Amino acid sequence: MKRLFCILLLAASACRNEQPSTATQAPPQQQAATSAAQRDPHSYSNPDQVRVEHIALDLGVDFAKKQLSGTATLRIRNEANANTLVLDTNGLTIRRVTIGNAPVQHRLGAADPIFGSRLEIPIRPDTQSVTIDYATSPEARALQWLEPSMTAGKKHPFLLSQSQAILARTWVPCQDTPGVRFTYDATIRVPRTLLAVMSAENPQARNEEGVYQFRMPQPVPSYLLALAVGDLEFRPFDTRTGVYAEPEVIERAAFEFADTPKMMQAAERLYGPYRWGRYDLLVLPPSFPYGGMENPRLTFLTPTVLAGDRSLVALIAHELAHSWSGNLVTNATWSDFWLNEGFTTYFEHRITEALYGREYSEMLWLLDVREAQDEIEALPPGDEHLYVNLAGRDPDEAPSIVYEKGALFLRLLEETAGRERWDQFLRAYFEKFAFQPMTTPIFVNHLKTALPDVVQKVNIDQWIHGPGLPPNAPKPQSEAFARVEQQAKTFAAGGSAAAIEGERWSSHERVHFIQSLPALPPARMAELDARFRFSESGNSEVLSAWLEKSIDARYKEAYPAIERFLTSQGRRKFLRPIYEKLVKNPEDLAFARRVYARARNTYHPVSQATIDSILK
């Protein structure tokens, strides 16, 4: 019987299409709890037959060539006696594949611009490991090679990686699906003046040789593979947390993120022990395309949250929360992305509440609700569901409504179950499914079993497979924000800027004020700018909200600030809405093209791809 099953699986794999996107093949064998998981439509690999369990990397970092080059040795478990190991690659030059010391004949499939090429390696039932000798392309989409001029210190180059969602395959040949986990180790050779760090046990200082050894003992999915190389210094917060940054930035970073140990305590109190050893932060140069990336043991961060007043540290709460939701219990495919990001956004708000109080966290909830409403208006039908079938699409362009809608759904479950019972449920959930992939149906079934009365009351289906925000969506409350809205209304109705009581507004109140304004005539924008100096704000959230409003108002005095903002940082969340607004008007479009011609080279490939498609 088992034999017959294997033959069927092999037959299914033989008739598999070239594109992972169009695959409708046999389901993969997931680890224990998720045997019903669907095949990942974004991976060519065949983990249902043979699984990668460990990767040993030995790579040289060549800044002149913009290339990583060396070997990846994959230890495999061939349970189905498969005769082929299929891996994901994208833009890799495969020089040689060996098993034992013997070369084997590999096959590299046709290249798809998003999914890359399948790499087929012939194996035997008893094959335990394969070694791939390879090099990356200078265009590898996960990697950004920074000139010294793009760093804070201006003296040394910098390399940073971003593997989520399916970019790990542009620098490591692997089963590039969140449904497969492996441990890893690495030897990384870098110029002597630089330090290398990874999502693994990390060095805290440079060594003479420029050769760094890494070990990652907990199994992780490929999207959490990460590497950065630069002129980095380390500063501890306490015995298990600290921050890496360039020497020019380390002081500001250590001040800004000083609450990290408290966040860790709050998170553990909520949902159980932190399972990853150390938790460190890495502040990157401003071209990093995201706010943060939850690389295990080492969260990667944009420097645009260094506001000087700790006002944007919810980002740390978010990335830390992923150490449970995402890194421990992992979305099985990118269509289940809400299980990572919705859970994490909810958890982020709970940490924020624990540290800074309910009044404060309600403001952040409300900013999210506004964001959700704006997003829903702009999304095509189907894309506002929590579960979104992303087969055939680039998961990096997945709608981000799942962050806020997912968080609101969990808040509804909390309010329906009662906080104590709900927290118990979550703690048990993270414990039970730790280090496993999670699908939407498995989560729903688990919820139905654990909290049947709650499930009956909330209309789960409408949340997961229905449009917009359902009518039972929780409604966060903030008196502070109500006052801000009142001030915005009065000003919009002709009130004077001087009469606004905004001296002591937090940055969140400022953002909310700006977002509560209707499109105003430029002269009225100028009055606000004279009063609050928004165009010069050092807070990136305030500045981006204001610059967006300025484009709506065609408030020309802010355009030099827009140009500065677009050419001094590459965070996609800030770039995208500004470029999207600029292309709507011919005069602004010319401005956008001129600025982008100057800025494009400084953006990470992830941001380049997004802005290219806006300006195409």
- Cα 50 to Cα 7, 8, 76, 86, 537: the distances in Å are 14, 15, 7, 9, 53
Nearer to Zn ion, 233 or 368 (CB): 368
The one catalytic residue in 233, 256, 294, 319 is: 319
State the minimum distance, in angstroms, from the CB of residue 242 to ligand BES: 20
User: Is 203 exposed, middle or buried, given 0-12, 13-18 or 19+ CB atoms closer than 10 A?
Assistant: middle
Are residues 258 and 237 in contact, defined by beta-carbon separation less than 8 angstroms?
yes
What single DSSP character describes residue 325? B
Residue nearest to ligand BES (CB): 291
Q: How far is the CB of 592 from Zn ion (least distance, A)?
A: 28
Residue 392 zone, left/alpha/beta (φ > 0; ψ -120 to 50; rest):
left
Question: If contact means CB under 5 to 8 A according to the sort of partner, which of ligand BES, Zn ion, none does residue 210 touch?
Answer: none
Packing angle of the helix pair 338-356, 440-450 (nearest 10 deg): 50
Measuring CA to CA, which residue among 235, 285, 283 is closest to residue 261? 235
What number of CA atoms fall less than 13 Å from residue 189's CA on the CB side?
A: 10
Q: Among 87, 135, 152, 165, which residue interacts with ligand BES (rule: CB under 6 A)?
A: 165
In angstroms, what is the minimal distance from the CB of 607 to ligand BES?
11
Active site residue 579: no
| Residue number with CB closer to Zn ion (346 or 534) | 346
Among positions 290, 347, 565, 596, the unique one binding ligand BES when judged by CB under 6 A: 290
Name which of residues 328 to 367 contact Zn ion (CB under 5 A): 341, 344
Report the C-alpha gap between 531 and 500 in whole angstroms: 9
Is residue 365 close enough to count as binding ligand BES by CB under 6 A? no
293 binds, among ligand BES, Zn ion, none (CB under 5 to 8 A by kind): ligand BES
Residue 411 interacts, among Zn ion, ligand BES, none and using kind-specific CB cut-offs from 5 to 8 Å, with: none
Nearer to ligand BES, 40 or 529 (CB): 40
Residue 408 phi/psi, 5° resolution? Answer: -65, -35
- Tell me the longest C-alpha to C-alpha distance in the chain: 81
Return the residue of 88, 231, 246, 319 that touches ligand BES, per CB under 6 A.
319
Q: What is the nearest approach in angstroms of ligand BES to the Cβ of residue 319?
A: 6
Q: Which of residues 326-355 bind ligand BES (CB under 6 A)?
A: 341
- How would DSSP label each residue in 380-393? PTTTTSSS---TTS
Least Å from the CB of residue 54 to ligand BES? 24
- Catalytic residue list contains 271: no
**By rule CB under 6 A, what string of x and - marks binding of each residue 564-583 to ligand BES?**
---------x----------
**Whose Cβ is closer to Zn ion: residue 291's or residue 605's?**
291
Residue closer to ligand BES by CB (options 16, 411) is 411
Which is the catalytic residue, given 223, 403, 596, 603? 403
* Torsional sign, CA 588, 589, 594, 595: positive
CA-to-CA distance for 610 and 593, rounded, in angstroms? Answer: 14
The CA distance from 189 to 502, in Å, is 53
Written as one letter, the residue type at 379 is: L
Q: Which is nearer to Zn ion, 344 or 507 (CB)?
A: 344
Phi, psi (deg, nearest 5) at residue 579: -65, -40
Please, which residues have CB within 8 angstroms of residue 395's CB and are 6 or more apart in sequence? 42, 165, 166, 334, 337
Kindly list the catalytic residues: 319, 403
Return residues touching ligand BES (CB under 6 A): 164-165, 290-294, 315, 318-319, 322, 341, 396, 403, 573
User: Which residues of this protein are in contact with Zn ion, per CB under 5 A?
Assistant: 341, 344
